[in-house]
Chain A
Amino acid sequence: EAQVTQNPRYLITVTGKKLTVTCSQNMNHEYMSWYRQDPGLGLRQIYYSMNVEVTDKGDVPEGYKVSRKEKRNFPLILESPSPNQTSLYFCASSFGDRASPLHFGNGTRLTVT
Chain B
Amino acid sequence: SQQGEEDPQALSIQEGENATMNCSYKTSINNLQWYRQNSGRGLVHLILIRSNEREKHSGRLRVTLDTSKKSSSLLITASRAADTASYFCIKRSQGGSEKLVFGKGTKLTVNP
Contact = CB atoms under 8 A, between A and B. Distances in A.
Nearest to B5: A42
For chain B, which range describes its interface: under 10, 10 to 19, 20 to 34, or 35 or more residues? 20 to 34
Contact of A58 (B99, B103, B105): B99
Contact of B45 (A42, A58, A103, A109): A103
A107 B40 contact: yes
Given A40-B104, A59-B1, A59-B101, A99 B42 contact: no
Contacts of A92: 42-43
For chain A, which range describes its interface: under 10, 10 to 19, 20 to 34, or 35 or more residues? 20 to 34
Interface in B75-100: 88, 90, 92-95, 97-100
A107 B88 contact: no
B70 to A, nearest CB: 17
23 contacts: A4-B42, A31-B98, A41-B104, A42-B88, A42-B102, A42-B104, A43-B102, A44-B102, A45-B100, A45-B101, A48-B100, A56-B98, A59-B1, A59-B99, A90-B43, A98-B93, A98-B94, A99-B50, A102-B45, A104-B43, A104-B44, A107-B40, A109-B40
Interface of A: 4, 31, 33, 35, 40-45, 48, 50, 56-59, 88, 90, 92, 98-99, 101-107, 109
The 10 closest A-B pairs by CB, nearest first: A104-B42, A101-B45, A42-B104, A43-B102, A98-B92, A104-B43, A98-B30, A106-B42, A99-B31, A42-B102
